[in-house]
Amino acid sequence: MMTLRHLLPTGLLTLATLYLAGAAYNLHRLDIEQALVCADEGGLLIPAAAQVCRAYVFQLRGTADDIARLQAGAGMGFVVQGRASAQHKAELVAFFQARGLDINQPDAQGWLPLHASILARQPDEVAILLAHGADPLRVNNQQQTALALAQALQQRKPDTKMQRIIALLQARPAAGH
């Protein structure tokens, strides 16, 4: 005779299976930005859901349509931002760059990915972008290089994150130069 104690593990397994099946069914309806938000390991309350979304992005996304949509919108800046670990961000940048997403193209508002990460005071993002070929000599719409922007921000509001960004930029030659 089955008791409640015997049914509990089976019930939890069934619920987990149904949850994952529902998630898989709904994933194909997400656009690439939504899939990336879902895959952001720091963005969801349920870590297993982020893992499922992450696997989905790496296995089934990165199509020519996804690249075109990202390039026309938020670009590589969207890929590198979020609450995920630096390792996860670096993997995503490499994944999308290998499929044609331009690391040096401005987003729809004119922000270069490197400049956006500097403005957000995110040294890990700056390091990732530089490691993948972001050009620190490209200028933004105010004709500032990445270093000039970082120095201006540091002058206005000094902090250790911006000091680290400046050090990264000073130590890194421009891509292709």
The pLDDT mean for the chain works out to 85
Give residue 119's pLDDT: 97
Give residue 29's pLDDT: 79
Joined tokens for residue 21: 């099946």
User: Which residues have a Cβ under 8 Å from the Cβ of 153 and sit 6 or more positions away?
Assistant: 118, 119, 121, 162
Give residue 85's pLDDT: 87
Is the pTM higher than 0.85? The answer reads no
Which residue in 79, 80, 173, 162 sits closest to 135, CA to CA? 173
Does position 45 have pLDDT exceeding 90, yes or no? no
Give residue 83's pLDDT: 83
Give residue 4's pLDDT: 44
Give residue 138's pLDDT: 96
